[in-house]
Amino acid sequence: MANDKYYGYSPKKETRKPSTGVTDVGTRLDRVNPYEFRKGMDVELTSLGVSRLAESTPEEREKATESVLKNLEEHQAYYSALIQFERGMDQASPINETSFKKYLEAYNGSEGRGDGMVEVDKEIKNDNATGEYYLTDIVSIINKKGFKIKTCIVSNEEVKGANTKKELSELEETFRKMKSEDLLEMGITVSDPNRVDVRGEVSAGTDCIIDVNVILDGVVKLGDNVSIGPNTILKDVEIGNNTSIEAFSHLVSSKVGKDCIIGPYARLREGSQIDDSAKVGNFVETKKTTLGKGSKANHFAYLGDAEIGSGSNIGAGTITCNYDGKDKHQTKIGDDSFVGTNSSLVAPVTVGSNAYVAAGSVITKDVPDNALGVGRSKQTNVEDWSKNKD
pLDDT at 25: 46
pLDDT at 14: 40
Q: Are 262 and 244 in contact (CB under 8 A)?
A: yes
pLDDT at 262: 98
pLDDT at 294 over 90: yes
- Which position among 75, 250, 299, 329 bears the catalytic label? 299
The fourth-level CATH superfamily of domain 168-377 is Hexapeptide repeat proteins (2.160.10.10)
pLDDT at 348: 97
Share of the chain above pLDDT 70, in %: 72
Which band of pLDDT confidence, cut at 50, 70 and 90, is reported for residue 23?
Answer: very low
Confirm whether 299 is a catalytic residue. Answer: yes
> CA-CA distance, 91 to 73, in Å (whole number)?
29
Least confident range from 112-126, 163-177, 192-206, 253-267: namely: 112-126
Least confident range from 95-104, 153-162, 192-201, 355-364: namely: 95-104
Share of the chain above pLDDT 90, in %: 53
pLDDT at 146: 72
Least confident range from 42-46, 225-229, 375-379: namely: 42-46
Report, as an integer, the average pLDDT of 310-317. Answer: 98
Q: Are 274 and 262 in contact (CB under 8 A)?
A: yes
In 3-state terms the chain splits into helix, strand, coil percentages (rounded to 5) of 30, 25, 45
> CA-CA distance, 256 to 291, in Å (whole number)?
10
Average per-residue pLDDT for the chain: 81
pTM for the model stands at 0.66
pLDDT at 144 over 90: no
pLDDT at 91 over 80: no
Count Cβ atoms within 10 A of the Cβ of residue 7 and give its class: 0-12 exposed, 13-18 middle, 19 or more buried: buried
> CA-CA distance, 322 to 306, in Å (whole number)?
8
> CA-CA distance, 322 to 319, in Å (whole number)?
9
Q: In Å, what is the CA distance from 222 to each residue of 188, 239, 243, 261, 268?
A: 10, 5, 9, 14, 16
Alpha helices in the chain (DSSP H): 4-7, 25-29, 34-47, 58-74, 76-86, 97-111, 120-123, 137-144, 156-159, 165-185, 385-388
Report, as an integer, the average pLDDT of 384-390. Answer: 77
pLDDT at 282: 97
Report, as an integer, the average pLDDT of 137-152. Answer: 76
Task: Give 197 or 390, the one with higher predicted confidence.
Answer: 197
pLDDT at 205 over 70: yes
Could you read off the pLDDT of 232-241 as tens digits, one per residue? 999 999 999 9
Could you read off the pLDDT of 177-187 as tens digits, one per residue? 999 999 999 99
- What is the domain partition of the chain in residue ranges? 4-74, 82-144, 168-377
Report, as an integer, the average pLDDT of 1-9. Answer: 47
